[in-house]
A and B are shown apart, each in its own frame.
Chain A
Amino acid sequence: MRNYLILFLLLFATISFATNSLAIYPFSSPQQQQRFQQLTYQLRCLVCQNQNLAESDASLAADLRTQIAEKIRAGASDQEIIQYLVARYGDFVLYQPPVMQSTYLLWFGPFVLLLIGLAILMLRIRYLNKKSNSMNLTIEKEQHLERLLRNE
């Protein structure tokens, strides 16, 4: 039990370590600090592509973090900073790809597939309904069936 408690507490140790690394980039206000955190979490590191700029240890990521911090201090908006990076590195720096011609399939493909699936389902339901309707007995046949069942 005590071991589990220690393991549990150790989880928090790593978290506080991660936030500590942000102290290298001092800001005058908590809002600026928060914007920096949000921006670096939503931008991709070009070197280790599965990491964002906040978490990457690559030297390029550190340089870009420094530039982003400087720009936030100088009063640049989030949009301006994102534009700055996209102009240099392309849309790949964004984890969320913008909606444009080359990404239509990515954005709308799933909905198209969903519509196709719904259409097939509707057709199928309609077909089965028709089939079961055509199997309904006429009144005379139903009476005949009843008589048979009563053994008349």
Chain B
Amino acid sequence: MFKKIRRIIFFIPFLTFLFIALFFWHGLSLNPQLLPSPFINKPAPNFYLSSLSQPQEKFTNKIFLGHVTLLNVFATWCESCAEEHPFLVDLANQKIRIIGLDYKDQRAAALAYLAKYGNPYQLVLFDSTGNAAINWGVYGTPETFVIDAKGIVRYKQIGAIDEISWQQNILPIIKKYHA
């Protein structure tokens, strides 16, 4: 009886090591830069922003009602945004509704950028102070939110969208909420 217990006790350090090693191994596979958004499955935060092209026109979160929309936070000074841009133009050509949120930018620079590289956005909201983006919990451009036709945030992509993240993460969400 005691011999049996002794044999088990001998294995305890090994089992403890194994448990801790597996725990840390799992931790290594997590990317600490990808933070879950607290807005998932919650109504889109409100804002009161002018459009990039028409400063006198103001918009609120009502613009999301009626369509599944991508809200893409970008800036002309952001390199990964420029990398992502052609992919967004492709998506717009496939009739995906994309609204831009131009983050801490110059109006003239942003207009020139869209004229040069193409404009995939149905509307670009101009957030020169970055305060609207803070209300959306944005911490690094580019970020893209998927918002359903009822104005509920369903997904957040951190970093540039590419073919893989589009096919695996974003497209299934759009299909799911497409009325």
Contact = CB atoms under 8 A, between A and B. Distances in A.
A127 B130 CA distance: 67
Counting chain A residues whose Cβ lies within 8 A of the other chain, the interface size class is 10 to 19
Contacts of A88: 38, 134-137
A67 B134 contact: yes
B104 A59 contact: yes
A46 B134 contact: no
A64 B134 contact: yes
A89 B5 CA distance: 49
Contacts of A118: none
B12 interface: yes
A24 B142 CA distance: 29
Interface string A65-91: 001000000000000000000111110
Contact of A89 (B2, B35, B104, B130): B35
B38 A127 contact: no
B137 A89 contact: yes
Contacts of B5: 123, 127
Q: Is the interface of A mostly helix, strand, loop or mixed?
A: helix
B101 to A, nearest CB: 15
A127 B137 contact: no
Contacts of B134: 60, 63-64, 67, 88
A88 B153 CA distance: 13
Contacts of B36: 90
A41 interface: no
Given A88-B135, A89-B139, A46 B2 contact: no
A38 interface: no
A57 to B, nearest CB: 15
Contacts of B2: 127
A47 interface: yes
A92 B136 contact: no
Nearest to A87: B38
Nearest to B32: A49
A16 B134 CA distance: 31
Contacts of A87: 38
Interface of B: 2, 5, 9, 12, 32-33, 35-38, 104, 129-131, 134-137, 139-140
18 contacts: A46-B140, A49-B32, A49-B33, A59-B130, A60-B134, A63-B129, A63-B134, A67-B131, A88-B134, A88-B136, A89-B139, A90-B36, A90-B37, A90-B137, A92-B35, A123-B5, A124-B9, A127-B2
Given A49-B33, A67-B134, A124-B9, 5 more contacts: A59-B104, A86-B38, A89-B139, A90-B35, A127-B2
Interface of A: 46-47, 49, 59-60, 63-64, 67, 86-90, 92, 120, 123-124, 127
